[in-house]
Structure 1
Amino acid sequence: MNIVSTAQKKTLHSILASKLNKLTIPVSSTSSAEDFDFAEVFGPPTSSPHAAVSTSPSSSSSLFLGDPQIIYNRSHSFIGPSPRYTVSNSLPLKTFNQEIDSESSDEDGNENRRINADKETEKDEDGGAVCKIGPGDFEILRVIGKGAFGKVFQVKKKDTDGISGIGGGSGDGIFAMKVMKKHTIIKNNHVDYMKAERDILTKVVHPFIVQLRYSFQTKSKLYLILDFINGGHLFFHLYRQGIFSEDQARVYTAEIVSAVSHLHKSGIVHRDLKPENILMDADGHVMLTDFGLAKEIDESSRSNSMCGTTEYMAPEILLSKGHNKEADWWSVGILLYEMLTGQPPFTHANRKKLQEKIINEKVKLPPRLSSEAHSLLKGLLQKEPSRRLGSGPSGSDEIKRHKWFRPINWKKLETRELQTKFKPDVSGEDCTANFDKCWTAMPPDDSPAPTPTAGEHFQGYTYVAPNPWLSSK
């Protein structure tokens, strides 16, 4: 054992102190610390007419040749109030802690090497084990997304036990696997949201909502296995085309209205409707996904959580007045406006200024749009929720009966009989050409994560869909 004298310790301490005194913290060049830089996702800033805001380019980002010029800076989804945020009448400049799934490691090493040991068996009501599936039953093919709680992978079901068809899915066993780290969820007090997402997905069956096939957990992570929708995000196609025609936007909006109406009738509010949370299948139909902020709310109740993505958040959420299903119809109005014009009606690089615009400014409607489109947008974008289209006693039927939707046969639409004018270029079940290269070029690693030391937060998480309902062709 080496013995260090007191004099040597003092010398070492003085050297360390002198080095620490020389450390400096670089000043950020960004003008708005509360915004989230998407430059590494969508490439460096351009002079695109559709760019809502501007920011400094990221040195690590690169713009792929031939890619469309698109919005490269946009708010992330966020949840609140957090322990560090007190709801008040004032608009917060900095509101929530955003943690984007950090790549942490633990003593056990690579997650894929220990997934079989981590596979947990839960008990059903009779006390029997119900978990027969885990991460080891899926081969990771590539990354197709990343968000506040984890990554989304394209995976293939291994036919190791002769049950590859359980829960439905595509004929080739191709799925989307959403992976969320427990320690991140617990640290941010989002356990209830993750439980709610799983519970809601097990209850919802609709032709324009992505279907959950399995859910399970390991000691360190939660897994959701959903149908893989290979046409990519509506966000991707919208900013590739720039804008949609009214005829094209009408079908997408009608399908979104149908899906949201089904959620509301089931007592569910989505609360994060935006193009990034809407997928497109190979036939050109839209599919609503990502229920991480969804909540079951009684018709007569109100939620006071500050949640959503700022550009799409209803005024009553920003004002902490309490919200219900009417907030979703505001977001549908924002979506329609963006599809028809190329960007949301309210944009600003500073979140506080953006919130103030949403609360106070009138929506400017482009004169080139039809009078029917103007009427629908005015109805959906009423700042007072009780006056908003869809808030009345007949609910979504108010919207479906609107004159802009006259060309829509709702019965044919909901049986997927209406033909879409645009179909994504898809080469096969596992095609990812319509997903952003910033994701698909990532190493397809289910990275390790520390195991939470807290008690059991996710008992009963395991699920296997009883019957295939929406099989991919």
Structure 2
Amino acid sequence: MGALCCRPQPVDFDGEVNLFHFILLRCVGKGAFGKVRMVQHKQTQELYALKYINKAKCVKMKAVANIIQERKLLEEIDHPFVVNMRYAFQDDENCFFVLDLMLGGDLRFHLERSGSLSEDTVRFYVAEIASALAYLHENRITHRDLKPDNILLDASGHAHLTDFNIAVHFSERRLLSGVAGSMAYMAPEILAKRGYTYTIDWWSLGVCAYELLFGRRPFKGRTNTDLTHSITKDHLRFPEDAEKKCSRAALQAVKGFLERDPSRRLGCKSGEGFEELRRHPWFSCIDWTALETKSIPPPFIPDSKKANFDASHELEELLLEDNPLKAKTRKNRDVNTLSVEMRQMEDQFETYDFKKMLRRSYYPHNQQIVSSFTAATSSSGGPIASRPVTPAATEQRLTRITTSEDCSPYTGCEPVQMKNVQYGEKAYS
């Protein structure tokens, strides 16, 4: 009789999603506020990445508004080349994002292994991420932190954009002004504080393309001041052997992305920016319809027999974690006894279930139901297998900066302020 108390409680899959709905598997990443684990949905058997954020740490680092902003923005988007949110929920200790699982590693991981990538491979990744950026920009979202660390590969080798922690909506009527992102990839208009919109993402894509092709960035500086001067003033130079590594069309495309005048930048031409990019000679071999349905075989398939990320996270979880993650029933607490920040998370980090809820925008100028870009599902009812599938490798320590000037209109509060913060977050973070 006494053994009855040890039987697992039945899971209510018809109720709101919670951690009891998932089997916790290996740890695959670590961020500023928590970790990333592979999980399996108990009912559908689908695999996902679970990013969990400790509420107390979030409050301590003044990051509550950023977490809420990311949660609301991710509800709005669904694209084949984005790491999409599938579920969101919270318990008394953590906020949870359940995301498409990416098992192929991030481009920083692969770049550090190989030194540089072939032109065909780089063109393929740039085209896929360009498709994602065009989708975001159509929805008036600018990512602001595009870099190899935030481009994840699925098991098939397709590229996906992740980390929307400092992404915001933009409006041509009120330019953004906050210095935000990773400095080496920032567009000159950010550093010059001239005001900006989505055009900064195309500059960052150009920096990524240059780095993937040649194994180094186009602009350098030993200090932030030197790097700012290089990005805003220095002439763009290619390595002496550049034409041996790639075609002239590739060099022209990179040069187009790294145009300091946003109105002349590749991808930014008024009225037809993305169409101009698609017509560029470097992309003449791309069948864009086939690309966006993932019908083009990727030039590189990650080795499924190897860990394409830092395997030390799993060991750290086993040996050093004093409060390992496990599903817990929520306590009946009076929210009025909580701090302002804790109440804010309780109220605004809302539950989301992609199988039960339509995607929508919280942005005041874009109040609408957002149709999903990809509606196909697998036989088990989950997203098609070509989309889910990567965790992160070791993040190169970069200066990531954000200010409170670009508080998103739908949060109603100030986002985290981190000036000249050296961080070592992983790509899911």
Using structure 2 for the length normalisation, give the TM-score: 0.71
Q: Quote the sequence identity (%).
A: 39
**Partner residue, 2:254:** 377
Give the counterpart letter for 2:266 in structure 1.
L
What is the CA-CA distance between 1:448 and the residue it aligns to?
A: 7.5
**Partner residue, 1:422:** 300
Give the counterpart letter for 1:426 in structure 2.
S
Report the CA distance shift for 1:420/1:190 in structure 2 as closer, same or farther (over 3 A).
same
- Deviation string 1:337-358 (CA, Å, 9 cap, x unpaired) is 0110012212334333222221
Contact (CA 8 Å) 2:119, 2:213: kept in 1 or not?
yes
Report the CA distance shift for 1:149/1:301 in structure 2 as closer, same or farther (over 3 A).
farther
Residue 247 (1) aligns with residue 131 (2): no
**Partner residue, 1:321:** 194
Match of 1:413 among 281, 288, 291: 291
Report the CA distance shift for 1:176/1:400 in structure 2 as closer, same or farther (over 3 A).
same
**Partner residue, 1:50:** none
**Partner residue, 2:317:** 443
What is the CA-CA distance between 1:201 and the residue it aligns to?
A: 1.4
What is the CA-CA distance between 1:438 and the residue it aligns to?
A: 3.5
**Partner residue, 1:454:** 340
Q: Partners in 1 of 2:314 and 2:126 — Cα distance?
A: 28
- Deviation string 1:190-245 (CA, Å, 9 cap, x unpaired) is 33322221122112111111121110112332110112111111211122121111
- Deviation string 1:8-50 (CA, Å, 9 cap, x unpaired) is xxxxxxxxxxxxxxxxxxxxxxxxxxxxxxxxxxxxxxxxxxx
Match of 1:258 among 131, 135, 139: 131
- Deviation string 1:391-430 (CA, Å, 9 cap, x unpaired) is 2221222212111111111111111111122101114xxx
Q: Partners in 1 of 2:324 and 2:158 — Cα distance?
A: 36
Output aligned runs, 1:266-345, within 5 Å. 266-345=139-218
**Partner residue, 2:70:** 197
Report the CA distance shift for 1:332/1:321 in structure 2 as closer, same or farther (over 3 A).
same
Long gaps (5+) in structure 2: 1-8, 326-336, 357-376, 387-429
SS, match of residue 181 in structure 2: coil
Contact (CA 8 Å) 1:142, 1:442: kept in 2 or not?
no
Report the CA distance shift for 1:354/1:150 in structure 2 as closer, same or farther (over 3 A).
farther
Report the CA distance shift for 1:447/1:314 in structure 2 as closer, same or farther (over 3 A).
farther
Output aligned runs, 1:73-88, within 5 Å. none
Give the counterpart letter for 2:63 in structure 1.
H
**How well do the aligned residues superpose, as a CA RMSD in angstroms?**
2.4
Q: Partners in 2 of 1:447 and 1:385 — Cα distance?
A: 48
What is the CA-CA distance between 1:189 and the residue it aligns to?
A: 3.5
SS, match of residue 317 in structure 2: coil
Contact (CA 8 Å) 1:279, 1:288: kept in 2 or not?
yes
**Partner residue, 2:18:** 134
Output aligned runs, 1:13-24, within 5 Å. none
Q: Partners in 2 of 1:402 and 1:411 — Cα distance?
A: 16
Report the CA distance shift for 1:321/1:182 in structure 2 as closer, same or farther (over 3 A).
farther
Match of 2:308 among 410, 423, 434: 434
Contact (CA 8 Å) 1:183, 1:452: kept in 2 or not?
no
- Considering fraction of residues, name the structure with more helix: 2
Contact (CA 8 Å) 1:131, 1:462: kept in 2 or not?
no
Output aligned runs, 1:23-42, within 5 Å. none
What is the CA-CA distance between 1:151 and the residue it aligns to?
A: 1.8
What is the CA-CA distance between 1:140 and the residue it aligns to?
A: 2.9
Contact (CA 8 Å) 2:16, 2:351: kept in 1 or not?
no
Give the counterpart letter for 1:283 in structure 2.
S
Q: Partners in 2 of 1:452 and 1:178 — Cα distance?
A: 24
What is the CA-CA distance between 1:310 and the residue it aligns to?
A: 1.2
What is the CA-CA distance between 1:308 and the residue it aligns to?
A: 0.7
Q: Which has the higher contact order (CA 8 A, sep 6+)?
A: 2
Q: Partners in 2 of 1:150 and 1:306 — Cα distance?
A: 25
Report the CA distance shift for 1:389/1:301 in structure 2 as closer, same or farther (over 3 A).
farther
What is the CA-CA distance between 1:334 and the residue it aligns to?
A: 0.5
Contact (CA 8 Å) 2:140, 2:171: kept in 1 or not?
yes
Match of 1:363 among 236, 244, 267: 236
**Partner residue, 1:102:** none
SS, match of residue 175 in structure 1: strand
Q: Partners in 2 of 1:446 and 1:228 — Cα distance?
A: 26
Q: Partners in 2 of 1:421 and 1:388 — Cα distance?
A: 27
Using structure 1 for the length normalisation, give the TM-score: 0.65
Contact (CA 8 Å) 2:317, 2:324: kept in 1 or not?
no
SS, match of residue 121 in structure 2: helix
Q: Partners in 2 of 1:320 and 1:421 — Cα distance?
A: 39
Match of 2:38 among 146, 154, 163: 154
- Considering fraction of residues, name the structure with more strand: 2
Report the CA distance shift for 1:452/1:252 in structure 2 as closer, same or farther (over 3 A).
farther
Give the counterpart letter for 1:386 in structure 2.
S
**Partner residue, 1:229:** 102
Report the CA distance shift for 1:472/1:403 in structure 2 as closer, same or farther (over 3 A).
same
- Deviation string 1:161-216 (CA, Å, 9 cap, x unpaired) is xxx23xxxxxx432111111223333444333222211221121111111211101
Output aligned runs, 1:49-60, within 5 Å. none
